[in-house]
Structure 1
Amino acid sequence: MPGCLSASDDPAAISLCADHLAIAAELHGLQHGASDPLPEPCVLCGSRLGIRLPTGWTCAVCEWPYGEHPDAEFAAPRVDVVYYLRYGDRVKIGTTVSPRQRFAALWHDEVLAFERGDRRLEHRRHQQFHSARAGTSEWFHLTDEIRAHVDVLAGGVDPWDRWRRWMAEATAIR
């Protein structure tokens, strides 16, 4: 099948000129959706990532239709998380179901990671890192062992993206 007269010489490229390639991309977006930022954060999970479909916008994280509001009776799902907050050279290992509200009350420099779990997992982490504990608090010295654990948990993903994904999954299950 012949390409456009002014097609790219790149052998890896589709044999279309820039104008026809743009038209093809637009048609693909109309049929299959195009990723774009939402005009405002998703009311369900807070993500700004959206998919523009012919039928309207959808959140790319939780797939909630943009512009729709949850019923007043629709309570947010409960997702227990163990969190790792860094403040200077210390790390707080705690648990919560509402991280933003909890973190507003805590001095911290950075959210390092989340892992799904409740007080039992938090207690196991406190035991696991007991040698680095600062007194009897939930604060620990940031050791190589804790840093390695946090790096595995984070896996190069923004902790808030992971938390939004868990919320979206819990919502979808309901």
Structure 2
Amino acid sequence: MLKKKITIALLLIVLFSFFSCKEDVFPKPSSYLRLDYPEAKYVNFENQCPFSFEMNSEAVIKGEKDCGFTISYPKMKATIYLNYKPVNHNIDKLLRDAQKLTYEHVIKADNILEQPFLNSSKKVFGMFYRVNGNAATNSQFYATDSIKHFVTGSVYFYAKPNFDSIMPATSFVRSDMQRLMETLEWK
């Protein structure tokens, strides 16, 4: 009887070891979310205000008071806010306010890159700010002719500012905002 039990136990061990052997397990490669955005097509935006610019034809623009505009990207839950102010011997204050607005994000930002902008033929001078990190805004700019006109712009996403997650959308909207600044013309 003991011999029979030992034989059955050995047979079960052999069966279990035979059926338990599988191929080696390898970790799966990391996957990434693929976000494809259409190639931007730009159109000139003319208005009654003392400036014009080019904007993405897919964006939705809405006029606000005092020549301010909101340019929305509904699919990305993003909005560019444009504000216009006339210069009345207060260029220093306008510049300080624009810079202060950008540097209020330094608490959450990893760094802020300044990119000066100069278009002498159109008399457009300014600064484009690229804010990296989990700040509320990732791009801002101001543009002026130093005599009559001053425009500021900033982009905000209606999502938690997790820089890694919204990186493709921020890059897309940032390039549109930069194009807007570079095509700005005074009337």
Using structure 2 for the length normalisation, give the TM-score: 0.20
- Could you say which structure has the higher helix fraction? 1
Larger RCO: Structure 1 or Structure 2 (Cα < 8 Å, ≥ 6 residues apart)? 2
- Could you say which structure has the higher strand fraction? 2
